[in-house]
Structure 1
């Protein structure tokens, strides 16, 4: 139904239509690791709440509003992104965000790599700087960085949050492979790696030496 040029043009269109509001997404993306580093329950809940908002905006805005009209499975994933955001919001308001100590430095580095490096991959494929895929706007970057929320939520919420990350990674990898947008293929791979990092960084129950 469409080729790579049409797909990459979606990134340009949404950035042009949103300007200058996507600058707020940049500020939020940089502010989230600052909140997490405070080792404070209220700050951590706010960080997860902002991730929740990013899922909803990118799902409804990009997938439903821009990609869905030319690719109907994308619209389904868009609504799934909205549900994923609602899930994180429910975790925030129901005690699903833990206050255990984390390896904040590692988490912050992975977060900043996701939100600062991955957005430029769409630009590398399209050759247009306006195609930058920002956290909270582009679903790929949002899902990749959002995978690190696995380190911040409790075990039950973690397992409910996981399936969409895996399904989206498989779907987007298949789509990007068919479109031969090779640079963007890094994003679903990074998402799966960050899923592993989220579990690795999550606090573990203390084990008895016996």
Structure 2
């Protein structure tokens, strides 16, 4: 029997890259045309980020909360768990993220969006725009076809990146760090999974985490809004 320290991360994967990406293709086919509706809702949220209104933050938080619950059920529970039993343990965290968004953002109104152009806001908008409009094309970058594209509010990676974008664009006077934990953790898990599969674009979730944390930690943001 081989010693445990001789195992590599690749040996611990419960699925092959082909099976993993085929999962997204089947997921998109089963839900069609729901992905189109998800993209339209994403556009609505992007408009709210670009031109904030008094109700924009509450609506965006509510839509994100619905998306986290939907992805937890439709993807993690119904699909991903069929090839990776550990996905089941991520479901409660996705639901918890939805409750946090509802409690803090929708009910509490504690996610007011910045309306002045600062670097953190630019980073947040860039992250959200990427997750919505560009991340599906990462499939082509990785050598796959668009049938296996990961779509906002349908797949977990673009949802987590978009959520990081919204949180990065929120007013720095409000503490949103607790809401960052689960999206950050998912992006790190995704990066580790993709990197273990030697997938092109594995660095994308990791970069999103770095940008979001940098935006929330940017010291000049606080001084800019205080003037």
Q: Aligning the two structures, in what range does the TM-score lie when normalised by the shorter sequence?
A: 0.7 to 0.9
Q: Which runs of 5+ in 2 are unaligned?
A: 1-13
Assess, with a 3 A threshold, how the Cα gap between structure 1 residues 193 and 86 changes in structure 2: closer, same or farther.
same
- How large is the RMSD of aligned CA atoms in angstroms? 2.8
2:45 to 14, 32, 35: 32
Query: How far, CA to CA, are the matches of 1:88 and 1:143 in structure 2?
Result: 13
- Secondary structure of 1:25's match? helix
User: CA offsets, 1:88-114, max 9 Å, x none?
Assistant: 011110232226544387243442123
Query: How far, CA to CA, are the matches of 1:136 and 1:62 in structure 2?
Result: 10
Assess, with a 3 A threshold, how the Cα gap between structure 1 residues 77 and 208 changes in structure 2: closer, same or farther.
closer
Deviation (angstroms), 1:207: 9.0
- Secondary structure of 1:135's match? coil
Deviation (angstroms), 1:39: 2.6
Matches within 5 A, 1:1-210: 1-91=14-104, 92-98=106-112, 101-103=115-117, 106=122, 107-125=124-142, 127-150=144-167, 151-152=169-170, 158-183=176-201, 185-196=202-213, 198-199=215-216, 200=218, 204=222
How high is the TM-score relative to the length of structure 2?
A: 0.79
Larger Rg: 2
- Secondary structure of 1:190's match? helix
Q: Which runs of 5+ in 1 are unaligned?
A: none
Deviation (angstroms), 1:23: 0.4
Query: How far, CA to CA, are the matches of 1:146 and 1:112 in structure 2?
Result: 11
Contact 2:127 2:161 in 1 (8 A): no
With 132-141 and 190-199 compared, the bigger mean Cα shift is at: 190-199
How high is the TM-score relative to the length of structure 1?
A: 0.85
Contact 2:125 2:166 in 1 (8 A): no
Contact 1:166 1:192 in 2 (8 A): yes
Assess, with a 3 A threshold, how the Cα gap between structure 1 residues 100 and 77 changes in structure 2: closer, same or farther.
same
Question: Which structure has more helix as a fraction of its residues?
Answer: 1
- Secondary structure of 1:143's match? helix
Contact 1:60 1:81 in 2 (8 A): no
